[in-house]
């Protein structure tokens, strides 16, 4: 009940605690309380995908989940994909090479969806890549650079994004 609750969850492998108003969404918790601002808010009605994060390994909309619903869950955000900008993972590096980023507002959510999809199927073909991306809006790139980035990743044989950080024993 009540308007605020204490919650505990794992974010990018780190245990985190917070006191949140029950109406706070997960994306606002991540951004405002944990200051993980790489996850963005573009529409707050589930369509744009900028807020996409992984919860227990599955891509979900951070704007359509209450923070209290993340109690006890493993949350992964774009900040968890690489230790710092100098050490990009293979997918991120292909995004640079193929100019898959322009303003970068949509990018965090897109990388998270692709990460989940590549764990499911490390060798997607173009239509499957486009299906995954279809849950996102990007107004800058026309998506072609992103599609090419994933195709290049697949062609390179580089290992797909590692297993879900939280699932390691």
Residues near ligand FES, by CB under 6 A: 41-44, 46-51, 61, 63, 101-107, 138-141
Q: Compute the least distance from the CB of residue 93 to other proteins, in Å.
A: 9
Containing 95, the helix (H) or strand (E) segment is helix 90-97
**Using rule CB under 6 A, residue 72 touches ligand FAD:** no
User: What does the CA dihedral 40, 149, 86, 138 come to, rounded to 10 degrees?
Assistant: -20
C-beta nearest to ligand FAD: residue: 46
Which residue, 34 or 143, is less far from ligand FAD as judged by CB?
143
Which residue, 137 or 168, is less far from other proteins as judged by CB?
137
Q: Compute the least distance from the CB of residue 33 to ligand FES, in Å.
A: 17
| DSSP reduced 3-state for 11 | strand
Q: What is the DSSP pairing of strand 52-55 with strand 74-76?
A: antiparallel
Joined together, the tokens standing for residue 99 give 């100019």
Q: Compute the least distance from the CB of residue 147 to other proteins, in Å.
A: 6
Task: Kindly identify the residues of this chain, within the stretch 41-60, that bind ligand FAD according to CB under 6 A.
Answer: 46-47
Q: Do residues 133 and 112 lie in contact, with contact meaning Cβ atoms separated by under 8 Å?
A: no
């Amino acid at each position: 009940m009540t308007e605020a609750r204490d919650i505990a969850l794992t974010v990018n492998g780190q245990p985190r605690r917070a006191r949140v108003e029950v109406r706070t969404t997960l994306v606002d918790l991540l951004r405002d309380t944990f200051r993980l601002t790489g996850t963005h808010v573009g529409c707050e009605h589930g369509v744009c995908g900028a807020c996409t994060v992984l919860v227990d390994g599955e891509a979900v909309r951070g704007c359509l989940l209450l923070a209290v619903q993340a109690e006890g869950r493993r949350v992964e955000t774009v900040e968890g994909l690489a230790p710092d900008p100098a050490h990009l993972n293979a997918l991120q590096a292909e995004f640079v090479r193929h100019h898959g980023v322009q303003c970068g507002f949509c990018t965090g959510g897109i990388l998270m969806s692709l990460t989940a999809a590549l764990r499911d199927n490390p060798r997607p073909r173009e239509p499957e890549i486009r299906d995954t991306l279809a849950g996102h809006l990007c107004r800058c790139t026309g998506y072609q650079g992103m599609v090419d980035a994933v195709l290049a990743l697949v062609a390179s044989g580089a290992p797909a994004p590692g297993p879900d950080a939280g699932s390691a024993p």
